[in-house]
Amino acid sequence: MKHIAIIAPDGQSNLSSVACIVGSYEIFSEANSYWEKNGHKPLYEVEIVGVSEQAVFSKGLVSIRPHTHINSLDKTDLIIIPSLAHDYESALAGNVAMVDWLSRQYKNGAELASMCTGAFMLASAGLLNGKVCSTHWSAVNTFSILFPNVKLRSHRTITDEAGIYTNGGAYSFLNLLVHLVEKFYDRPTAIFCAKLFQIEINREFQSIFTIFSGQKLHDDEEIKLAQQYIESKIDEKISVDQLSSRFSIGRRNFDRRFVKATGNTPLEYAQRVKIEAAKRAFENTRKTINEVMYEIGYSDLKAFREVFRKITGMSPMEYRERYNKSVVDS
> DSSP per residue over 29-41, as a string?
HHHHHHHHHTTPP
3-state secondary structure of 199: coil
**CA–CA gap between residue 51 and residue 68 (Å, rounded):** 9
Identify the pLDDT of residue 330: 45
Report CA-CA distances (Å) from 208 to 156, 216, 266, 313, 314.
10, 22, 21, 6, 8
Identify the pLDDT of residue 328: 47
Residue type, 46: V
**If you write DSSP's letter for every residue of 221-287 in order, what string do you get?**
HHHHHHHHHHHHTTTS---HHHHHHHTT--HHHHHHHHHHHHSS-HHHHHHHHHHHHHHHHHHH---
Identify the pLDDT of residue 101: 92
**Residue 83 neighbours by CB distance under 10 Å:** 32
> What is the b/e burial string over 18-49, where b = at least 16 CB atoms within 10 angstroms of the residue's CB?
bbbbebbbebbebbbebbeeeeeeebbebebb
**CA–CA gap between residue 203 and residue 122 (Å, rounded):** 23
Mind listing the domains of the chain with CATH numbers? 2-209 (3.40.50.880), 221-329 (1.10.10.60)
3-state secondary structure of 322: helix
Report CA-CA distances (Å) from 180 to 153, 202, 208.
19, 11, 23
Identify the pLDDT of residue 308: 92
CA angle, 212 as apex, 206 and 213 as ends, to 5°?
Answer: 150
**Residue 62 DSSP label:** E
**CA–CA gap between residue 303 and residue 309 (Å, rounded):** 10
Report CA-CA distances (Å) from 330 to 252, 279, 324.
50, 19, 10
**pTM greater than 0.75:** no
Identify the pLDDT of residue 276: 86
Residues whose CB falls within 8 Å of the CB of residue 53, separated by 6 or more in sequence, listed in order = 65, 66
pLDDT in tens, the chain (330 residues): 899 999 998 766 678 889 999 999 999 999 999 999 999 998 999 999 998 888 877 777 888 999 999 999 999 999 999 998 766 666 566 577 888 899 999 999 999 999 998 999 899 889 999 999 999 888 888 888 889 999 988 778 888 888 999 998 778 899 999 999 988 998 889 989 999 999 987 666 555 556 576 777 788 899 989 998 998 888 888 899 999 999 999 999 999 999 888 888 999 999 988 998 898 888 888 899 999 999 999 999 999 999 999 888 889 999 888 878 665 444
Q: Yes or no: say if 137 and 169 are a contact pair by the CB < 8 Å rule.
A: yes
Identify the pLDDT of residue 92: 64
Q: Yes or no: say if 98 and 127 are a contact pair by the CB < 8 Å rule.
A: no
